[in-house]
């Protein structure tokens, strides 16, 4: 187990480094000049004081060779310092820390909601003896995958906020403001989870050990809880780990549409303003969340399936 964790942690560290490097290469080699952008004078060089530009260049280290910039930034990042925002001047870590709780809460609720919806649909569809209900339920996930986040957000706003006036349309005041964004985020994610979980449940129901349990006299509820669920959950967990990325990506659109503060919003603004340190900080954070979530999934799977720890025999 320890060896397994160590190997996974090392892989995670590599992913973080790769995310940092890729974002550095992409962002710092962009053709536009971040300092000019910062001064709000991109493309209108005439109005800018060259001394000021030079001072800023030195301050941000843009006058150094690229590889030196890379190394010093990597070194700083290892100490938890991602530099300062070019728009606000505040440390990147502070900016992110301020935006994280709102998005974290939203994402957590969305993921929980997604798991509940996915499990509900998958279990109901594979347990029912009515063919039509099964077909109806299994038709939902592909639909859910196909719906774009922004469209879903707008439709939900139309119905629940503007037409029915039940829930607030914008802002982050109170619990009610979380409902629509959470649903918007959760639905597409739950759809892919439900698809995978349902087919995994179907396969597990047909496996010989379930027949053995039936031959012991076990009825369906017992078969489901004692035998099928634990064996079927593995693929769904893998998808859950991967879809966390979808939740983060979805938060950009969702927070913009619903006018909520948060990481997605911060990312959107930082990209628009070419605020390179902030964008890079968010990329690395997203990678870290991804790595940690997948590490969590791996540990959970090893707990669920004892075969994974014994060198994969059989």
Partner 1 sequence: MSQAATTEQPVGTPEPVLSVGDLAISYTSRGRRTAAVQGVAFSVGPGETVALVGESGSGKTTTAHAIVGLLPGSAHRDAGAIVLGETDIAGWSQRRLATIRGRHVGFVPQDPGVALNPVQRIGVQVAEPLRIHGLAGRAEADARALEILAQAGLDDPEAVALRYPHELSGGQRQRVLIGIALACDPQLIIADEPTSALDVTVQKVVLDHLQERTREAGASVLLITHDLGVAADRADRIIVMQGGRIVEEGPAARVLEAPEHEYTRRLVAAAPSLQSRRLSATPGTRLPEALSDAVVLELAGIARRYVSRAGGRTREVVAAHDVNLSVRAGRTTALVGASGSGKTTVARIASRLVEPDAGRVLLGGRDITTATGADLRELRRGLQLVYQDPFGSLDPRMRILDTVAAPLRAYRVGDRASRARTAAGLLERVQLPADLHRRLPAELSGGQRQRVAIARALALNPKVLILDEPVSALDVSVQEQLLQLLTDLQAELGLGYLFITHDLAVVRQIADEVAVMNRGEVVEAGTVADLFEHPHDPYTVELLAAIPGRGIASSAATG
**Residues in touch with partner 1 (CB under 8 A):** 3, 207-209, 211-220, 222, 226-227, 230-231, 304-307, 309-311, 313-314
The CB density around residue 15, as the number of other CB atoms within 10 Å, is 14
Q: Minimum CB separation from partner 1 for residue 220, in Å?
A: 8
Q: By C-beta, is 145 or 308 nearer to partner 1?
A: 308
Q: Minimum CB separation from partner 1 for residue 212, in Å?
A: 5
Q: By C-beta, is 177 or 200 nearer to partner 1?
A: 200
Q: Minimum CB separation from partner 1 for residue 206, in Å?
A: 8
Q: By C-beta, is 90 or 303 nearer to partner 1?
A: 303
Query: Are 105 and 85 spatial neighbours (Cβ–Cβ below 8 Å)?
Result: no
Q: By C-beta, is 165 or 311 nearer to partner 1?
A: 311
Q: Minimum CB separation from partner 1 for residue 129, in Å?
A: 9
Give the pair of three-digit tokens for residue 222. Answer: 């017992």
Side-chain half-sphere exposure of 175, counting CA atoms within 13 A? 1
Q: Minimum CB separation from partner 1 for residue 2, in Å?
A: 9
Residues 144, 167: Cα–Cα separation, whole Å: 22
Q: By C-beta, is 4 or 170 nearer to partner 1?
A: 4
Q: By C-beta, is 111 or 228 nearer to partner 1?
A: 228
Contacts of 60 (CB under 8 A, 6+ apart): 34, 35, 83, 86
251 burial (CB, 10 Å; 0-12 / 13-18 / 19+) is buried
Q: By C-beta, is 57 or 214 nearer to partner 1?
A: 214
Cα 301 to Cα 114, 129, 224, 235, 304: the distances in Å are 19, 30, 18, 9, 5
Q: Minimum CB separation from partner 1 for residue 190, in Å?
A: 25
Taking alpha carbons only, the member of 192, 240, 202, 199 closest to residue 224 is 202
Q: Minimum CB separation from partner 1 for residue 132, in Å?
A: 15
Lookup result for tokens 């952008």: 37
Q: DSSP of 222-254, one letter per residue? A: HIIIIIIHHHHHHHHHHHHHHHHHHHHHHHHHH
């Amino acid at each position: 187990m320890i060896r397994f964790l160590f190997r996974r942690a090392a892989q995670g560290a590599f992913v973080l480094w790769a995310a940092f490097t890729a974002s550095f290469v992409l962002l710092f080699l962009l053709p536009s000049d971040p300092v000019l952008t910062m001064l709000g004078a991109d493309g209108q060089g005439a109005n800018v004081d060259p001394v000021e530009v030079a001072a800023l260049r030195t301050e941000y280290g843009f006058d150094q060779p690229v590889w030196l910039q890379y190394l010093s930034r990597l070194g700083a990042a290892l100490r938890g310092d991602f530099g300062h925002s070019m728009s606000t001047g505040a440390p990147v870590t502070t900016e992110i820390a301020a935006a994280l709780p709102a998005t974290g809460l939203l994402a957590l609720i969305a993921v929980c909601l997604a798991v509940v919806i996915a499990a509900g649909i998958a279990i109901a569809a594979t347990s029912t003896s009515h063919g039509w209900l099964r077909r109806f339920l299994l038709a939902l996930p592909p639909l859910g995958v196909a719906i774009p986040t922004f469209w879903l957000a707008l439709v939900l706003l139309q119905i629940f906020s503007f037409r029915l006036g039940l829930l607030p349309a914008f802002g982050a005041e109170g619990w009610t403001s979380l409902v629509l964004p959470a649903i918007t985020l959760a639905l597409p994610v739950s759809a892919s989870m439900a698809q995978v979980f349902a087919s995994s449940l179907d396969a597990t129901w047909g496996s010989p050990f379930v027949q053995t349990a039936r031959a012991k006299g076990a009825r369906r509820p017992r078969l489901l809880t004692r035998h099928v669920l634990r064996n079927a959950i593995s693929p769904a967990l893998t998808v859950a780990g991967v879809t966390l990325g979808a939740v983060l990506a979805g938060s950009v659109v969702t927070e913009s549409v619903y006018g909520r503060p948060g990481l997605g919003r911060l990312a959107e603004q930082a990209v628009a303003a070419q605020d390179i340190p902030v964008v890079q900080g968010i990329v690395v954070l997203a990678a870290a969340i991804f790595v940690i979530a997948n590490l969590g999934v791996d540990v959970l799977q090893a707990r669920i399936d004892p075969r994974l720890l014994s060198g994969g025999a059989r």
